[in-house]
Amino acid sequence: MVVKTKISKIKKGNPKTNKHVNKGNIKKTKHVKINNLNSLPNKQKPKPVENYSEDSDQGEDMLDMVDKDDINFLKSAITNRSYNIFNKIKFSSSEGPKLKRRKVVNDESLENQYEDQMDEHEPDKKIKTLLPIKTKNGIIPQQIFEENDDAYEEENEVAEEEKVDAEEQEDAEEKFSLENTELEFSGPISATQLLSKRNELINKIKIHIGTLSSGLLENPEEKVTNLRTLLSLMEDETAQLYVSVKKLILVSLLEIFKDILPSYEIKHVNTEGVKLKKDTLKLQKYEDTLLLYYKKYLQKLEKCSLVLINKKGDSRTRTEDELKLGILAVQAMCELLITHPYFNYSPNIAQAIVPFLNNHDKNVRDIVKTSIKTIFKEDKKEELTLKILRLINNYLKKHAHINPDMLEVLLVLNLKDINLDQEKQQEVKEKKLLSRKSRILQLSKKEKKRKKKLMEVEKELLETKAEENKQAKHKNLTEITKIVFNIYFRILKNSNNTKTLGVCLEGLAKYAHCINLEFYVDIVNVLDNLLKEDWLGYREHLHCIQTVFAILGGQGEALNLDPLRFYNGLYKELLNINVSSKNSENILILIRTLSEALIKRRKKITNKRILGFIKRLSQLCLQLAHDGTLGCLGIIKSLIQLSRSTDILLDLDPTTGEGKYNPEIDDPEYSNAWSSALYELLYLTRHYHPIVGKFARNIANGAPSTGEASLPGEYNKSTAEQLFTDFSMSEMAFNPPVPPPKKEQPKNKSKTGFFADSSFEDECRNIMRRPVKRKAFWIDI
């Protein structure tokens, strides 16, 4: 005979629960077994279940003990159902009431009954009732108290908090709405009444926006839903307040996001099936909500900024308010990109603002240009810089006519430590070594796996030392350099715009040390052909010559090129610049070019050429302002100190030298400058600027570093470019400052003459004191 034993659900699930607990997937629940009814609290004690047997006559003995009048009363109460306690009693015969006998049921109905009872008593605690135990004294129920998991409680609490926030948000939206701010008047009104009503409504809106913003800044995690209200206010299109409200909310949200956005990038993590703590769930919810509203805000900014872009076929006229709102949107995007360059959607913001570098409005171009230059200077990872350069490169490929401002931002890049030739040689060496090792060593599968693991360990070690970040940054800089030269070479080959070409040549001159050697000859030939063009301006001429000398002064020394034509071109252009001409803005470029051509390449040019340039520079000093004069004198001083053969120009004896000085010849080799002297220094010693006079006296005495004619230490070691920038008048400030004149009391003038006759003196003074009567004067025609 097979005896079936009944096993509870808890015991059946214990093996699986223990496996999950051992693996760490779930927490171990605490079970409290209750074996006696006396151990339960008063509220939780269930009513005892009486066991009535079929042969029991306990009910009949009780009836004998009750009076007949009481029995009649109970019968009438049961029939009339006046007492609920007797609702379940039925009469089988007229002899008297009989109690319904309860049978012990072996199924799960009894267990479910106890569970319902416990849930009614204490709904907050989770009580699970087990199968009861039958004893001689009666039935003893068994129950288990289960503590709720932390994650379950936390999810409920977070859900309740979200519900409360949603209710508060709905209440806030009901309290204020722009629909109630319509300007409605029953009759005709004046302009003053209209303005006062409008200002009153705007003040109410300002108070509402300020309340929402301040609450959000005080507790961003709890009040993040205020962003939804602010964004919804931007969508209301009240005709009288549309632009003003949008501007207020746009600026308010800008300041809010600048303060509450984190400095790191928020990444989406899939947490399905993972139990998280309350704080983690709350933070994740906050970040997701913040990211959602930030995205909506950026979409609205982009929509507002599209007003500034003129599309083909769009003949709509934009109002001044819409244009101002578009400029404000562009400025907001630029500030967000500068403040949080590593946060989410930074590449999207860059993609939105790059086309505005070619906008027809100069204010918009200046805003975007300034922001991109700031990013290029402050970007440490070089990732966003690379992204922006790729966007600029793609834009230049699709548009033929561009503004020079789009190329000016490239001049801020720091590409000093990049050498493409050296990197290329290193790559070739590595490839050769790898191929040689593969030929000599034929590794087995185990050795290959071991080598792979070693590479992973080395990579982790580099991460701990922050070496990998340096390698990634260097890689980004290399890619940036390639893109920059790709842009410059394309413009140099195809562009006929002088302004664009001038910026391109300036960039080539600045980054010439990074160009590959294989391109040097082609670039020099292209620049030589450009110098022969008539449409090229003075600034572009200087940039072409500067680029050539920058190339030849670096790795291009090995090239077999004769730079004579470029020296002659520079010598010819020297006297075409003065204070009153438009070319006076290019003095700094001229000083840089002279430094590249004369000082850095002094060992590769003849003494006659150096003397010719020094003589012409001294003439140029007489027609420049004091900042340009100091720059030229700095070059002359450096050449005299570096080459002692130039002392001949300080000798005033006219018998030395061969022939006469001819300043009109364009070739410094045949100008006979050694037959002349630097007479211009005598005029410069009486210059209005005191520092110019000191420099002129120092050069006239042979540029000594010590002694009476020496310069102060702060000017003695300054380069020509530093002298120009230090004494520049761009900020309308005189360096050194001019002392104010001394205040002196006027001296009493002594009488130089006298009158012999006092009466004649009195008559003369009376005549001088009389008022002059002027008669009308006209001509009759």
- Look up residue 554 and give its two tokens: 């670096």
- 31 SS3 class: strand
Amino acid symbol at 546: Q
Is it the case that residue 241 has pLDDT exceeding 80? no
Helix axes 607-621, 564-573, angle to 10 degrees: 20
Per-residue DSSP letter, 664: T
| Rounded average pLDDT over 668-695 | 90
- 220 SS3 class: coil
Give the 3-state secondary structure of 357-394.
Answer: HHCCCHHHHHHHHHHHHHHHHHCCCCHHHHHHHHHHHH
Q: Picking from 69-83, 344-358, 629-643, 703-717, which range would have the lowest pLDDT averaged per residue?
A: 69-83
% of the chain residues with pLDDT over 70 = 70
- Give the mean pLDDT of the chain: 76
pLDDT tens-digit profile of 454-472?
777 776 665 555 445 667 7
- Look up residue 442 and give its two tokens: 């034929």
% of the chain residues with pLDDT over 90 = 16
- Residue 364 sits at φ, ψ, to 5 deg, of -65, -45
Is it the case that residue 781 has pLDDT exceeding 50? no
Residue bearing tokens 């009288």? 240
Our CA angle for 529, 532, 535, nearest 5°, is 110
Contact 709, 703 (CB under 8 A): no
More confident residue, 689 or 15: 689
Is it the case that residue 685 has pLDDT exceeding 50? yes
- Residue 51's pLDDT is 44
Q: How confident is the model at residue 390 (pLDDT cuts 50, 70, 90)?
A: very high
Question: 567-583: buried (b, 16+ CB within 10 Å) or exposed (e) per residue?
Answer: bbbbbebbeebeeeeeb
Q: Picking from 448-457, 599-608, 694-703, which range would have the lowest pLDDT averaged per residue?
A: 448-457
Q: How confident is the model at residue 696 (pLDDT cuts 50, 70, 90)?
A: very high
pTM of the predicted model, to two decimals?
A: 0.64
More confident residue, 272 or 397: 397
- Residue 622's pLDDT is 92
Q: Picking from 66-70, 449-453, 469-473, which range would have the lowest pLDDT averaged per residue?
A: 66-70
Q: Picking from 55-59, 188-192, 369-373, 394-398, which range would have the lowest pLDDT averaged per residue?
A: 55-59
- Residue 539's pLDDT is 86
Cα–Cα distance for residue pair 373/385, rounded to 1 Å: 10
Is it the case that residue 558 has pLDDT exceeding 70? no
Q: How confident is the model at residue 619 (pLDDT cuts 50, 70, 90)?
A: very high
More confident residue, 385 or 30: 385
- 133 SS3 class: strand
- Residue 548's pLDDT is 87
- Residue 102's pLDDT is 45
| Rounded average pLDDT over 477-505 | 85
- Residue 639's pLDDT is 92
Count of CA atoms in the C-beta half-sphere (13 A) of 710: 10
- Residue 395's pLDDT is 92
Rg (CA), the chain: 48
Per-residue DSSP letter, 412: G
| Rounded average pLDDT over 383-394 | 92
Length of the chain: 781
Is it the case that residue 752 has pLDDT exceeding 50? yes
Q: Picking from 135-139, 144-148, 345-349, which range would have the lowest pLDDT averaged per residue?
A: 144-148
Is it the case that residue 330 has pLDDT exceeding 90? yes
More confident residue, 38 or 625: 625
The secondary structure element, H or E, covering residue 259 is helix 242-260
| Rounded average pLDDT over 180-206 | 72
| Rounded average pLDDT over 485-493 | 88
Q: How confident is the model at residue 366 (pLDDT cuts 50, 70, 90)?
A: very high
Contact 459, 472 (CB under 8 A): no
| Rounded average pLDDT over 349-368 | 91
- Residue 457's pLDDT is 74
Q: Picking from 479-493, 614-628, 635-649, 753-767, which range would have the lowest pLDDT averaged per residue?
A: 753-767
Query: H-type helices in 495-537, by residue range?
Result: 498-510, 520-531
- The burial class, CB within 10 Å (0-12 / 13-18 / 19+), for 240 is middle
Is it the case that residue 337 has pLDDT exceeding 70? yes
Q: Picking from 72-76, 281-285, 647-651, which range would have the lowest pLDDT averaged per residue?
A: 72-76
C-alpha torsion 672→673→675→679, nearest 10: 150
- Residue 65's pLDDT is 64
Q: Picking from 219-223, 399-403, 448-452, which range would have the lowest pLDDT averaged per residue?
A: 448-452
| Rounded average pLDDT over 405-431 | 71
Cα–Cα distance for residue pair 697/619, rounded to 1 Å: 16
- Residue 237's pLDDT is 60
